Structure 1
Amino acid sequence: MADSKSKTDYTLHVYFTRYSSWGSRVELILSYFHIPCDIKLYGMNNPAAAPPARFAKGLLPALQVGAEDEDFVIADSLAISEFLAEQHPELHLWPKDLKLRALARTAVAQMHSGFSEIRNTYATNFLGKYTGNIPLSESVTMEIRGMVELWSKARADTKKRLQELGEEDEGFLFGGFTIADAFFWPVLWRFRSYQLPLTGISEDGLKWMAKMWNDPTIKLQIQEYFRQARNPLSKIEKYEDIFRSNFDIEYGQFTEDWIFES
């Protein structure tokens, strides 16, 4: 793996990322931009794989900076992402263009603080697959529509801006892969896991989804989730078959050969 620094300066403390919407974002950023980092994985509510005591009362993910300074720890996925962007400006974790950078930050802020109905109704579980009569409340349906509109508008605004600049459009939300794509990565799982409707999404929005699912670096990250699943300590029971009392819904798991089809 290519290094952006000569040595590993960071340790990411995180719950097993096959369940962690917050942690998987940071892990994908580190992986995509080849930022060297030691990653320590922990089990949620599992004494056999619990995080160190100093992280027990805090929220994970947490990024420890420097092996010798245990007090230099950054919590919260957005704060960690911003720190990494500042530390590695040459990698362009945010878009280079001022306008696209502002649009990307706006989208990330919306994802970071909003869409609570989707978050609270549908637990994150990369392997989980639900079929049948998936519940869709009015408030959830509104958020799903807003999410789809956000993706479609991001791609439309980006295409227009990059054409004005005469620059290449790689097909990610704001051109090249950025923090914004990482922040929407876990919600793509939810759309897949729970068969959430994509009504109203633009053609370019669908192409972005395909770009994410088929990207070689992201596929490597997907392999990591399946490796974690082979470790019994990684299992979080409360995120498995969350509709188990609803006999109209069948629960299963995706396999590694699954392919996104629009």
Structure 2
Amino acid sequence: MAENMQNLDHILHVYFTRYSSWGVRVALILDYFQIPHTTKGYGWNPAVAPPAHLSGGLLPVLQPDPSDEGFLIGDSLAISEFLAEQHPRLHLWPRDLKLRALARTAAAQMHSGFNVMRNTYHTNFLGKYTGKIPISEAAAKEIRDMVELWSKARADTKKRLQELSQEDEGFLFGTFSIADAFFWPVLWRFRSYQLPLTGISEDGLKWVTKMWNDPVIKKHSHEFFRQAQDPLTVVEKYENIFRGNPNVEYSQFSEDWTFNPTEA
């Protein structure tokens, strides 16, 4: 089956990724590993709503075979695992067994955890909040846990690759993997809401810098700005979520923004 589907032009059905942390994970994996695909974006406006055969489940949904509308895979982690199986030569997970297990663990933690951050700081890849951003004790703990997770991932990876005498490309587990894609949306939350990177290790900060500067990821991010030109992609409830709070100002980032690690 893997051989039969490796060259198919998969269809990714996804809510407009400018607001979709779940969908952008898969979209970035497909783009980064150059897996043939077509992306179909949908919104909450009836004019751009998903078709009836997708309405029973949450997006993203991957349709591996364009000719088979009955074969649909939902959930970003399930889709990612399917893609890893279908394209083994691309190594969507790290090649080393130990690093692969650590990467899967980290991705699963992101997939099922950090609910306070998710529910407090909604995804808006273009949104920019400045001022006194509300951070509850529960949110502050998850922010610290996130930073610690990144720092530990880089420390464990650095040690393991040194043991193997293999090159470390600086991603969470060496080379770019599904794990990096899973943490990409939350990294944008750190940018959007000015969340603190306090306590991050030197190697962890290098990972953050690498993610923001990676040419493939930067090219992929252009899609958010392209979508913003279409008013049908706007979701008002994710715009200026602190509306009415005089201590928080809302605007949008420009596409030429760059990450400055000295200000982190």
Q: TM-score range by the shorter chain?
A: over 0.9
Q: Which residue of 2 aligns with 1:12?
A: 12
Cα separation, 2, equivalents of 1:51 and 1:218: 26
Q: Matches of 2:254 and 2:67 in 1, distance apart?
A: 41
SS at match of 1:81: helix
**1:28 is aligned to 2:28:** yes
User: Are 1:56 and 2:55 an aligned pair?
Assistant: yes
Q: Indicate the residue corresponding to 1:147 in structure 2.
A: 146
Q: Which residue of 1 aligns with 2:177?
A: 178
C-alpha separation in 2, matches of 1:80 and 1:9: 15
Query: Partners in 2 of 1:63 and 1:260 — Cα distance?
Result: 32
Post-superposition offset of 1:58: 1.1
2:99 corresponds to: 100
Which residue in the other structure is 1:165 paired with? 164
**Deviation, structure 1 residue 173:** 0.1
Aligned to 2:40, the other structure's residue is in SS state strand
- Give the letter for the 1:258 counterpart: W
Corresponding position of 1:216: 215
Code of the residue aligned with 1:168 in structure 2: it is E
TM-score (normalizing by structure 1): 0.96
The answer to whether the aligner puts 1:227 opposite 2:226 as a matched pair is yes
Opposite residue 27 of structure 1, the aligned amino acid is A
CA separation of 1:149/1:6 partners in 2, compared to 1, >3 Å: closer, same or farther? closer
Q: Distance in 2 between matches of 1:106 and 1:30?
A: 21
Q: How far is 1:7 from its partner? A: 4.3
Partner of 1:40: 40
How many pairs are equivalent? 257
Deviation (angstroms), 1:8: 3.4
65-74 or 212-221, which deviates more: 65-74
1:73-112 mapped onto 2 (5 Å cutoff): 73-112=72-111
What TM-score do you get using the length of structure 2 for normalisation?
Answer: 0.96
% same residue: 73
Bigger drift between 54-63 and 139-148 goes to 54-63
State the Cα deviation string for residues 90-114 of structure 1 (Å, max 9, x = none): 0000000000000000000100000
Q: 1:225 offset after TM fit, Å? A: 0.9
Residue 50 of structure 1, CA deviation: 0.5
Given that 1:62 and 1:76 are in contact with CA atoms closer than 8 Å, whether structure 2 keeps it comes out as: yes
Amino acid at match of 1:261: N
Q: CA deviation at 1:68?
A: 1.8
Q: Provide the rounded CA distance (Å) in 1 between the counterparts of 2:30 and 2:13.
A: 13
Partner SS for 1:124? coil
Task: Give the Cα separation in 1 of the matches to 2:98 and 2:36.
Answer: 29
Instruction: Say what the alpha-carbon RMSD is for the aligned residues.
Output: 0.9
Check the 8 A contact 1:12/1:40 in 2, yes or no: yes
Verify the 8 A CA contact 1:10 1:66 in the aligned structure 2: yes
Q: Which runs of 4+ in 1 moved over 6 A?
A: none
The answer (yes or no) to whether the contact 1:152–1:205 under 8 Å persists in 2 is: yes
Gaps spanning 5+ residues in structure 2: where? Answer: none
Cα offsets for 1:93-150 (capped at 9, x unmatched): 0000000000000000100000000000000001000001101100000000000000
CA distance in 1, matches of 2:184, 2:230: 23
Q: Is the 8 A contact 1:8 1:38 kept in 2?
A: no
